[in-house]
């Protein structure tokens, strides 16, 4: 009886680990899509409505999911109070506090970093160019993230289940 | 009760209602520490900040040199904050060379002008800024009001003043008094339209006046004077039109139009005496058509916004000195 319970626990744990690793890839893809969505909304606010950045960030935060939503709200509040020296700095501070919730790769963060470094610091023409470049780069990363997710989610899930089953068979 | 002045003010010291927190908010911490006490205690008019130069603070009659060499990073930080982290939203203002921040303080900027088709597209590599402190002196026009209004009517008034003598300050207070009304001199509240070409009178931030210009006042902010006056006459049905620093032919044409539409005007110009007005061809129309009824001469003798002389211009063009 006890043995049977242990086999089930081992099998479920291995499967969970497999699912967990698969989810990380899925989350990266989902978060990147959210970043792209936020960038597109922000592009509209900046280029067409000329909305100042603190208000624009607050406005678009309602249109995306957490944790992107949470970081946007926090940065917006910081900028409204004038507490930060730059947009990049406030995003960096907030990201460091919430980094465990993000599953982005270094190359994703590099695109976002380059974007935030110049966000709000030029005229409409410069901002338009910046948005176009960032959106293109994000689209490329979104595509590859989706592909990787598709491949790895299946692989890790199957691997988890297989390893779980294998251990149980060996023990039996 | 609206219109009754309950505020004490002291023009001699050059003091007034100052929202210095908004200035401190945009300055880097190092500069903040040096400036804070001076801002609170002294009648600061301007703060000049230039890269690699010490900070200069202009008071009403003297200046203070702060022993702090401004770094490029300091100026970048100030720019980021005065533009609310959004330079793109202030392109038009930057083209004109200034940004108005909360509290009505105007920040002039200087740097490398980028020209496209002989027009300024933007200013880049900004190397110096000049923070002009906005002080609201509520009640400074109370003494003048009885001369420029009578029987619930405001006379067409021209305020003549040399630079830095407080003509915008007094014009703003006139707008407030006319708009809120002054029961003490029998003046009821009237609809006022202010054409504020450089955000100096109402000091609008995001379109909202930061200074008290009265409850019946509409402000056309950042609007060219001639176009603004015509727009206001057509759409806002004002009783009084208020405008700062008129001087072009277009301005005079619009003032004529206002007069013909039954709108009274209160305007200012740069000048030193009544002869300045009579000697300028551009004002001939206003004088010949008997549009102007009062001419007020300001100076900064003894105090800012000192009313030097008040003239009445009769229907036959005769000029009588009412005060001074």
- Taking CB atoms and an 8 Å cutoff, what residues of chain B touch A51? 86, 89
Q: What is the reported pLDDT for B10? A: 39
Chain B nearest-CA residue for A127: B88
Range of weakest confidence among B12-21, B90-99, B262-271: B12-21
Q: Report the gap between the CA of A36 and the closest CA in chain B (Å).
A: 20
Q: What's the whole-number mean pLDDT along residues A134-152? A: 89
The confidence band for B19, taking pLDDT boundaries of 50, 70 and 90, is: low
- Taking CB atoms and an 8 Å cutoff, what residues of chain B touch A87? 85
φ/ψ of residue A26, rounded to 5 = -65, -40
Smallest Cβ–Cβ distance between B122 and the set A79, A86, A123 belongs to A123
SS3 B189: coil
- Taking CB atoms and an 8 Å cutoff, what residues of chain B touch A124? 88, 91
First to last CA, chain B: 32
The larger pLDDT score, comparing residue B319 to residue B108, is at B108
Whether residue A54 is predicted with pLDDT greater than 90 in this model: the reply is: yes
* A79 touches B: beta carbon within 8 Å: yes
- Decide if B187 contacts B323 (C-beta within 8 A): no
Q: What is the reported pLDDT for A145? A: 86
Q: B125-182 pLDDT, tens per residue?
A: 888 999 988 878 888 899 899 999 998 999 999 999 888 788 888 999 999 999 999 9
φ/ψ of residue B162, rounded to 5 = -70, 165
Peptide bond into A67 cis (omega under 30): yes
Q: What is the reported pLDDT for B158? A: 92
Q: What's the whole-number mean pLDDT along residues B243-269? A: 88
**CB spacing of B88 vs A50 below 8 angstroms:** yes
Domains and CATH numbers, chain B: 21-132 (3.30.450.90), 142-323 (3.40.50.300)
- Taking CB atoms and an 8 Å cutoff, what residues of chain B touch A126? 88
Q: B313-323 pLDDT, tens per residue?
A: 887 778 888 87
Whose CA is closest to B149, among B246, B264, B261?
A: B264
Domain ranges for chain A, please list them: 2-171
The confidence band for A113, taking pLDDT boundaries of 50, 70 and 90, is: very high
CB neighbourhood size of A58 (10 A):
17
Token pair, residue B293, equals 């009824």
Chain A nearest-CA residue for B26: A82
Q: Report the gap between the CA of A18 and the closest CA in chain B (Å).
A: 44
Q: What is the reported pLDDT for B245? A: 87
The angle subtended at Cα A121 by Cα A70 and Cα B101, nearest 5°, is 90
Q: B273-308 pLDDT, tens per residue?
A: 888 888 887 777 777 778 889 999 998 777 767 888
Chain B nearest-CA residue for A76: B85
Strand order in the sheet with B98-100: B63-69, B54-59, B44-50, B119-132, B106-116, B98-100
The larger pLDDT score, comparing residue B10 to residue B50, is at B50
Q: What's the whole-number mean pLDDT along residues B207-224? A: 90
Q: How far is CA B188 from CA A1, B157, B222, B312, in A?
A: 95, 18, 28, 22
- What does the alpha-carbon distance between residue A57 and residue A72 come to, in Å, rounded to a whole number? 6
Q: What is the reported pLDDT for A85? A: 85
The confidence band for B5, taking pLDDT boundaries of 50, 70 and 90, is: very low
Q: What is the reported pLDDT for B203? A: 86
Q: What is the reported pLDDT for B251? A: 87
**CB spacing of B85 vs A122 below 8 angstroms:** no
* A124 touches B: beta carbon within 8 Å: yes
User: What's the DSSP call for residue B299?
Assistant: E
**CB spacing of A51 vs B25 below 8 angstroms:** no
Q: A59-93 pLDDT, tens per residue?
A: 999 999 889 999 999 999 999 888 888 899 999 99
- What does the alpha-carbon distance between residue B302 and residue B205 come to, in Å, rounded to a whole number? 33
- Taking CB atoms and an 8 Å cutoff, what residues of chain B touch A77? none
Q: What is the reported pLDDT for B6? A: 39
C-alpha of B282 from chain center? 22
Whether residue B16 is predicted with pLDDT greater than 80 in this model: the reply is: no
* A77 touches B: beta carbon within 8 Å: no
Chain B nearest-CA residue for A117: B85
- Taking CB atoms and an 8 Å cutoff, what residues of chain B touch A121? 80, 87
% residues pLDDT > 70 (chain B)? 93
Q: What is the reported pLDDT for B155? A: 94
Smallest Cβ–Cβ distance between B88 and the set A82, A87, A120 belongs to A120
φ/ψ of residue B243, rounded to 5 = -150, 140
The confidence band for B13, taking pLDDT boundaries of 50, 70 and 90, is: very low
- Taking CB atoms and an 8 Å cutoff, what residues of chain B touch A57? none
Residue of B27, B85, B114 for testing the chain A interface, max A β-carbons within 10 Å: B85
Q: What is the reported pLDDT for B249? A: 85
* B207 touches A: beta carbon within 8 Å: no
- Taking CB atoms and an 8 Å cutoff, what residues of chain A touch B89? 50-53
- Decide if B197 contacts B158 (C-beta within 8 A): no
Chain A nearest-CA residue for B75: A85
Chain A nearest-CA residue for B28: A85
SS3 A54: helix
Whether residue A43 is predicted with pLDDT greater than 90 in this model: the reply is: yes
Q: B223-240 pLDDT, tens per residue?
A: 888 899 999 999 999 999
Positions of E strands within chain B: 44-50, 54-59, 63-69, 98-100, 106-116, 119-132, 149-150, 153-154, 157-161, 192-196, 204-205, 208-209, 217-221, 240-243, 264-270, 294-299, 306-313, 319-323
Residue B194 bridge partners (DSSP): B219, B242
**CB spacing of B85 vs A127 below 8 angstroms:** no
**CB spacing of B87 vs A120 below 8 angstroms:** yes
The confidence band for B18, taking pLDDT boundaries of 50, 70 and 90, is: low
Q: What is the reported pLDDT for A66? A: 86
Whose CA is closest to B7, among B108, B130, B110, B141?
A: B141
Residue of A80, A85, A88, A116 for testing the chain B interface, max B β-carbons within 10 Å: A85
- Taking CB atoms and an 8 Å cutoff, what residues of chain B touch A120? 80, 83, 85-88
* A73 touches B: beta carbon within 8 Å: no
- Taking CB atoms and an 8 Å cutoff, what residues of chain A touch B80? 85-86, 120-121
Q: B41-96 pLDDT, tens per residue?
A: 888 889 999 999 999 999 877 889 998 999 988 998 898 888 889 989 888 888 88
Residue with tokens 């609206």: B2
């Amino acid at each position: 009886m006890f043995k049977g319970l242990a086999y089930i626990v081992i099998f479920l744990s291995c499967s969970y680990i497999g699912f967990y690793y698969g989810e990380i890839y899925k989350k990266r893809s989902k978060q990147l899509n959210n970043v792209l969505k936020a960038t597109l909304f922000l592009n509209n606010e900046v280029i067409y409505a000329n909305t100042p950045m603190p208000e624009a960030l607050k406005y678009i935060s309602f249109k995306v999911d957490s944790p992107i939503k949470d970081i946007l709200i926090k940065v917006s509040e910081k900028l409204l109070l004038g507490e930060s020296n730059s947009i990049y700095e406030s995003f960096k501070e907030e990201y460091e506090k919430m980094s465990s919730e993000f599953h982005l790769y270094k190359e994703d963060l590099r695109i976002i970093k380059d974007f935030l470094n110049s966000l709000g610091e030029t005229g409409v023409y410069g901002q338009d160019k910046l948005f176009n470049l960032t959106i293109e780069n994000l689209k490329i990363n979104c595509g590859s993230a989706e592909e990787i997710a598709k491949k790895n989610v299946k692989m890790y899930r199957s691997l988890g289940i297989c390893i779980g089953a294998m251990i149980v068979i060996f023990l039996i | 009760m609206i219109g009754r002045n309950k505020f004490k003010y002291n023009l001699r010291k050059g003091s007034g209602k100052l929202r210095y927190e908004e200035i401190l908010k945009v300055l880097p911490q190092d500069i903040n520490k040096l400036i804070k006490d001076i801002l609170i205690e002294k009648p600061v008019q301007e703060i000049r900040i230039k890269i690699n130069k010490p900070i200069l603070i202009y008071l009403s009659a003297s200046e203070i040199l702060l022993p702090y060499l401004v770094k490029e990073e300091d100026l970048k930080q100030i720019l980021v904050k005065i533009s609310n982290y959004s330079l793109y939203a202030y392109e038009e203002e930057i083209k004109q060379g200034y940004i108005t921040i909360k509290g009505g303080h105007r920040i002039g900027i200087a740097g490398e002008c980028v020209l496209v088709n002989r027009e300024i597209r933007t200013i880049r590599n900004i190397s110096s800024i000049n923070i002009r402190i906005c002080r609201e002196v509520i009640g400074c026009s109370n003494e003048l009001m009885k001369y420029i209004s009578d029987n619930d009517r405001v006379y067409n008034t021209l305020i003549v003043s040399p630079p830095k003598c407080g003509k915008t300050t007094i014009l703003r207070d006139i707008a407030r008094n006319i708009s809120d009304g002054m029961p003490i001199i029998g003046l009821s509240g009237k609809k006022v339209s202010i054409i504020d070409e450089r955000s100096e009178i109402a000091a609008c931030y995001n379109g909202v006046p930061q200074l008290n210009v009265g409850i019946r006042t509409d402000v056309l902010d950042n609007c060219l004077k001639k176009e603004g006056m015509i727009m206001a006459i057509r759409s806002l049905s004002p009783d009084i039109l208020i405008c700062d620093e008129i001087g072009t032919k277009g301005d005079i044409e619009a003032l004529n139009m206002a007069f013909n539409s039954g709108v009274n005007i209160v305007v200012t110009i740069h000048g030193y005496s009544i002869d300045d007005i009579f000697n300028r061809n551009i004002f001939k129309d206003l004088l010949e058509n008997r549009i102007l009824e009062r001419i007020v001469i300001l100076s900064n003798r003894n105090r800012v916004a000192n009313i030097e002389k008040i003239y009445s211009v009769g229907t036959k063009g005769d000029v009588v000195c009412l005060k001074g």
